[in-house]
Amino acid sequence: MKIFLDTANVEQVKLAASLGVLDGVTTNPSLIAKEGKDFKKTVLEMCKYASNVSAQVTATDFEGMKKQGLEYAKWHKNIVVKVPMTTEGLKAVSFFASKKIRTNVTLVFSVPQAILAAKAGATMISPFIGRLDDIGQDGMQLISDILDVWANYDFKTEVLVASVRHPMHVVEAARLGAHICTIPFDVFDKLPKHPLTDSGVKKFNEDWEKASKKK
């Protein structure tokens, strides 16, 4: 499973990249607004560390999405144009596919939406599992259902698990065989840690010290 960071913070991207585990980054307008930095500069900086950086269009009509997406795609080859799952968005995805511009269809909440996005030529789709959990629906069930459908066909579109809230979402995404999981930094930060690893390292070092003193 590819690991993406769900952030607009360049320092977090740099750190994850330095661990050798980062396959990409997803940004969205809310994350960009939270950091308060220039959108283009942020995305271009991230492209130094990841070969796959989603930059979201804010237009809601086809012409506007087309204009923004064409501009983003010119900025850097690592940019993936992120498009919302609307009928105008589908038109835009199909247009970008015809121009060989990679797309990430965001705000996917159902299997029919996933199928249409794949047929329109999306490079990846982002089902938002945490937001489904938030309203009392099982987000992971949506991933499982989409992957069941994918097993019947030859869709090239990758399933990117988004709106992740905790490490078990990452585990379940991998167990189901999702292609990608995008992870907020606070969750990513928990993944390498285990108290038994920490106490194990401490004990090994203490034993080593004791043995060295005996010599």
Query: Catalytic residue numbers?
Result: 82
Q: Which is nearer to ligand E4P, 26 or 52 (CB)?
A: 26
Minimum CB separation of residue 47 from ligand E4P in Å reads 17
Q: Which is nearer to ligand E4P, 118 or 162 (CB)?
A: 162
Minimum CB separation of residue 82 from ligand E4P in Å reads 7
Rounded to 5 degrees, φ, ψ at 47 are -65, -15
Helix (H, G, I), strand (E, B) or coil at 215: coil
* Helix count and strand count (H, E) for the chain: 11, 8
Find the radius of gyration of the CA atoms of the chain.
Answer: 20
Q: 19 and 3 in contact (C-beta within 8 Å)?
A: no
Angle at 203 between CA 198 and CA 204, to 5 degrees: 100
Residues that bind ligand E4P (CB under 6 A): 6, 26, 28, 106, 126, 128, 130-131, 162-163, 182
Minimum CB separation of residue 83 from ligand E4P in Å reads 12
Q: Which is nearer to ligand E4P, 73 or 162 (CB)?
A: 162
The DSSP H or E segment spanning 185 is helix 185-188
CA distances from 5 to 26, 63, 105, 140, 196 (A): 6, 29, 17, 19, 26
Q: Which is nearer to ligand E4P, 106 or 157 (CB)?
A: 106
Helix, strand, coil: what percent of the chain each, to 5?
55, 20, 30
Q: Which is nearer to ligand E4P, 174 or 201 (CB)?
A: 174
Entry field: residues in the chain: 215
Closest C-alpha among 177, 179, 190 to residue 123: 179
